[in-house]
């Protein structure tokens, strides 16, 4: 009888521990928004992180203004702005429809110069506040190469995030956007590496 009681107590403890573990890990189960969108935790993570990631890329592009640049680099900066600003709006709309919080970004007023307390976690390819300040303060002679090197690293981080969404996501428009980001930013990385050549 004592052995049975000990076995029951052990099983109860194991089940309680297993239950605690489940609370800490995202389930990635499909959810349905009020507008009918079917999405999961991977989609939410992708949109949340990529909004912040794109916002930093646009801040880097802002720093190219009034700098003497190779025309190809200037066109690249304009292409990045033209692609990523609408994507931020699209992902913001998704999060809003899913009743998920829209993250603050470095482009929000309080964070415009790195003054805000932005937590980027371990998001791949993100520049630190110190990196951004160094880019802003660098000489015209060194700016273009520094911009290209930082943007290559930034794009490589976006590729990692896009691949994760394509493998783990549920919401087809987000998976499609991730595929588009992978294609376009791979091409831009090749272009930037050639310009650094």
pLDDT greater than 60 at residue 24 = no
Task: Tell me the per-residue pLDDT of 35-46, one tens digit each, with 9 for 90 and over.
Answer: 999 999 999 999
Examine the pLDDT at 27 and tell me if it is beyond 80: no
**Residue 11, pLDDT score:** 58
Q: Comparing 23 with 196, which gets the higher pLDDT?
A: 196
Angle at the Cα of 162 from the Cα atoms of 160 and 165, rounded to 5 degrees:
110
pLDDT score of 65 more than 50: yes
Helical residues (DSSP H) of 25-139, grouped into ranges: 41-62, 71-97, 129-137
Render pLDDT for 98-155 as a digit per residue (tens, 0 to 9): 999 999 988 764 444 443 444 555 789 999 999 999 999 999 999 999 999 999 999 9
18 lies in some domain = no
Residue 21 counted as domain residue: no
The encoded tokens of residue 170 equal: 């549920």
pLDDT greater than 70 at residue 81: yes
26 part of a folded domain? no
Query: Is 20 part of a structural domain of the chain?
Result: no
For the cut 80, the answer to whether the pLDDT of residue 3 exceeds it is: no
Within a domain: residue 16?
no
Q: The CATH number of the domain where 125 resides is what?
A: 1.20.1260.10
Q: What share of the chain is helix, strand, coil (3-state, %, to 5)?
A: 70, 0, 30
- Domain encompassing residue 45: 31-196
SS3 call for 148:
helix
Residue entry with tokens 């880019």: 135
Structure tokens at 41: 């935790």
In a domain, 78, yes or no: yes
What confidence category does residue 187 fall into, taking pLDDT thresholds of 50, 70 and 90? very high
Domain count of the chain? 1
Backbone angles phi, psi at 63, to 5 degrees: -75, -10
pLDDT for 23 equals: 47
- Report yes or no on 44 lying in a domain: yes
């Amino acid at each position: 009888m004592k052995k049975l009681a000990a076995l029951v107590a052990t099983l109860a403890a194991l089940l309680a521990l297993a239950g605690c573990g489940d609370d800490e890990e995202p389930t990635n189960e499909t959810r349905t928004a009020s507008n009918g969108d079917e999405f999961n935790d991977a989609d939410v993570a992708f949109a949340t992180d990529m909004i912040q990631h794109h916002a930093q890329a646009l801040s880097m592009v802002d720093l190219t203004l009034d700098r003497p640049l190779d025309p190809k680099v200037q066109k690249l900066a304009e292409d990045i702005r033209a692609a990523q600003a609408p994507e931020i709006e699209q992902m913001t709309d998704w999060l809003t429809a899913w009743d998920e919080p829209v993250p603050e970004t470095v482009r929000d007023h309080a964070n415009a110069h790195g003054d805000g307390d932005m937590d980027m976690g371990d998001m791949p390819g993100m520049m630190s506040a110190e990196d951004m300040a160094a880019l802003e303060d660098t000489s015209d002679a060194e700016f273009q190469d520094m911009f290209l090197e930082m943007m290559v690293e930034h794009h490589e981080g976006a590729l990692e995030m896009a691949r994760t969404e394509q493998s783990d996501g549920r919401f087809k428009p987000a998976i499609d956007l991730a595929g588009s980001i992978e294609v376009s930013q791979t091409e831009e990385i090749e272009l930037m590496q050639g310009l650094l050549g």
